[in-house]
Amino acid sequence: MNLPIRQRVSQYMDARQQHPAWRLLVSPRAPLMLGCLTGLFANQSREGGIAEEDALQALTQMLLEFANHPDFKVDVDNPQQQAGRELREWIKRGLVVERGQRLYETDALNRAVQFIDSLDNRIMTSTASRLSVVQEQIRKLETGLDADPVNRADALRGQIARLQQELTDVEAGKVEVLPEAAAVEAIREVYVLATGLSADFRRVEDSWRAADRLLRQSMMAEGVHRGDVLEQLLDGQENLLNTAEGRVFDSFMQQLGESSELKLMTERVRNILAHPAAERALNKQQMLELRWLRLKLSGESQMVLRARSRSEQDVRGFIKSGLAAEHHRVGLLLNDILARAHSLDWSAASLRRTPAALPPLGVALGNVSVPERLRYKVLDDDTDTTPDFTSTDESLEQLDDEFWAAFEGLNREQMLRDTLEVLAQHGRPMTLGELASQIPMTYDLETLSMWIAMAREAGIEIAEEHEVLRLEDADGNQWQYRLPVTRLESSALADLDLDL
């Protein structure tokens, strides 16, 4: 048999045993698990993920509904325990990730779902559309690889001529709009590319967690210097950002600092979804996913940043523990020196007069023997200092007001109603400072953050200028906030679908 064929067969066999997506597809209860979890992930909140308890209950109910199916082998006596085992097995295989009692889908799960969905050809652009995209990319690539200035100048002149002709036609009133069929294909292509961004972010997160796992193994290995661990962390971050998905993530993080670019992208997405062709190209769930693309990518980027910060915290702790280990080794060395000094017979005059490599540096205390001067003083106290972690019961009436105040927070629904009421009373757009003067600011920071989020969701312009807001809390402390200039309007916020 040909050697490349053998290698390919061996590679496929390893993938069948190790790759999470392949192992999922050959699992006997894969249709049941996919049907349950993909439905839950499709209806997940905009911050991403589903509650682990909700997934467990939904999977238990699904097992009971298919209890009589011979392929699933459902344990009717204890379906919840079986659901828990299946869920833990999925987490172990890397199909879902559990963080903070919430489950998040992984790139392997998305690949398996996309493969199954592709069997029905749910989203498939036409050959003509794909051919035009390939031809355009070939033209751009050929131009970018050509180092001849004459050819590059000719290509630029051709682009300028085409743009000038298009501008002339537009000025003459000849506006060429995409046909409905082409618009449907383009919208589907945009949706496929947009959903691929989330998969790129998940691959970045998975790569960061894999690098974190290798970093932890290096920390646990013997003979590893702290500088080597720090260098491995920095090299791992640099290598990850040089990958294709890493560059996508880095580009998105740079755009986060430019709110105008993301705001313009959000506005363009809304205009595309408002086109009649969008209803033919995408279903309702896909339109919602595209509408909340920016928020979803922001949530995915936060997960990546948390994974990276975890590695940085581990390295910081390892460096600090390394300092503590060095101090411990110095202490052991000093104890060894003192023990050897204590074992000497200082009563012999010949020993005391023996020349030493180091001159004596001790304080002259003639009445105290030399070992006693160097020995650490040990406290002769037999008091048990072991911490007591036993739990004690206490009545709720004995808890002070600070304990209950810790559970208080901003009532976002009430604040939204108060804001709309104040805007309706004044009948004009109001800045954040004007709203703060009309509404009691019990939770000032949460309230201001909520107003800014409302402005972004409603598409209200947020200027580059800033205004200064000064508030005084209940203790008489003065607080100053530097806020972006924006004006909230009741008509723009009336139909706001804010996730409270």
Higher pLDDT, 252 or 283: 283
Angle CA 464–469–473, to nearest 5: 145
Q: Please check whether residues 445 and 484 belong to one and the same domain.
A: yes
Q: Please check whether residues 162 and 78 belong to one and the same domain.
A: no
Q: Please check whether residues 227 and 153 belong to one and the same domain.
A: no
pLDDT for 122 beyond 70: no
User: What is the band of 5 on the pLDDT scale with cuts at 50, 70, 90?
Assistant: confident
- Residues 230 and 315: beta-carbon distance below 8 Å: yes
Domain range for 435 is: 412-493
- Residues 492 and 486: beta-carbon distance below 8 Å: no
Higher pLDDT, 398 or 449: 449
Q: Please check whether residues 185 and 145 belong to one and the same domain.
A: no
For residue 336, being part of any structural domain is answered with: yes
| Strand ordering across the sheet containing 430-431 | 430-431, 478-488, 462-472
> How high is the pLDDT of residue 261?
72
Determine the average pLDDT of the residues in 227-245: 66
For residue 432, being part of any structural domain is answered with: yes
Q: Please check whether residues 186 and 297 belong to one and the same domain.
A: yes
User: What is the band of 363 on the pLDDT scale with cuts at 50, 70, 90?
Assistant: low
398 DSSP 8-state letter = G
User: What is the band of 389 on the pLDDT scale with cuts at 50, 70, 90?
Assistant: low
Q: Please check whether residues 187 and 215 belong to one and the same domain.
A: yes
Determine the average pLDDT of the residues in 28-40: 75
29 DSSP 8-state letter = T
% of the chain beyond a pLDDT of 70: 70
pLDDT for 340 beyond 70: yes
Q: Please check whether residues 219 and 252 belong to one and the same domain.
A: yes
For residue 360, being part of any structural domain is answered with: no
Q: How many domains does the chain have?
A: 4
pLDDT for 290 beyond 50: yes
For residue 67, being part of any structural domain is answered with: yes
pLDDT for 487 beyond 80: yes
Q: Which residue has the tokens 């298009």?
A: 166
Among residues 381, 454, 398, 399, the alpha carbon closest in space to that of 422 is found at 454
pLDDT for 258 beyond 70: no
% of the chain beyond a pLDDT of 90: 0
pLDDT for 124 beyond 50: no
Q: Please check whether residues 160 and 286 belong to one and the same domain.
A: no
Q: Which residue has the tokens 């996508």?
A: 248
Query: Going by DSSP bridges, is the β-strand pair 462-472/478-488 parallel, antiparallel, or unpaired?
Result: antiparallel
Q: Please check whether residues 156 and 212 belong to one and the same domain.
A: no
Query: Going by DSSP bridges, is the β-strand pair 462-472/430-431 parallel, antiparallel, or unpaired?
Result: unpaired
**C-alpha 218, offset from chain centre:** 24
For residue 357, being part of any structural domain is answered with: no
For residue 394, being part of any structural domain is answered with: no
d(CA 312, CA 306): 10
- The three state secondary structure string of 310-374 is HHHHHHHHHHHHHHHHHHHHHHHHHHHHHHHHHHCCCCCHHHHCCCCCCCCCCCCCCCCCHHHHH
Final residue belonging to a domain, choices 309, 342, 375: 342
Final residue belonging to a domain, choices 315, 342, 369: 342
Q: Please check whether residues 63 and 92 belong to one and the same domain.
A: yes
Listed in sequence order, the residues at least 6 apart from 252 whose beta carbon sits closer than 8 Å to its beta carbon are 197, 201, 297, 301
pLDDT for 437 beyond 80: yes
For residue 498, being part of any structural domain is answered with: no
d(CA 254, CA 261): 10
User: What is the band of 401 on the pLDDT scale with cuts at 50, 70, 90?
Assistant: low
User: What is the band of 1 on the pLDDT scale with cuts at 50, 70, 90?
Assistant: very low
d(CA 384, CA 420): 62
User: What is the band of 407 on the pLDDT scale with cuts at 50, 70, 90?
Assistant: low
Final residue belonging to a domain, choices 176, 198, 218: 176
Determine the average pLDDT of the residues in 19-44: 74
Q: Please check whether residues 110 and 144 belong to one and the same domain.
A: no
One-letter identity of residue 63: L
DSSP 146-188: ---HHHHHHHHHHHHHHHHHHHHHHHTT------HHHHHHHHH
Helix H or strand E segment including 461:
none
Q: Please check whether residues 260 and 225 belong to one and the same domain.
A: yes
Determine the average pLDDT of the residues in 454-479: 82
For residue 383, being part of any structural domain is answered with: no
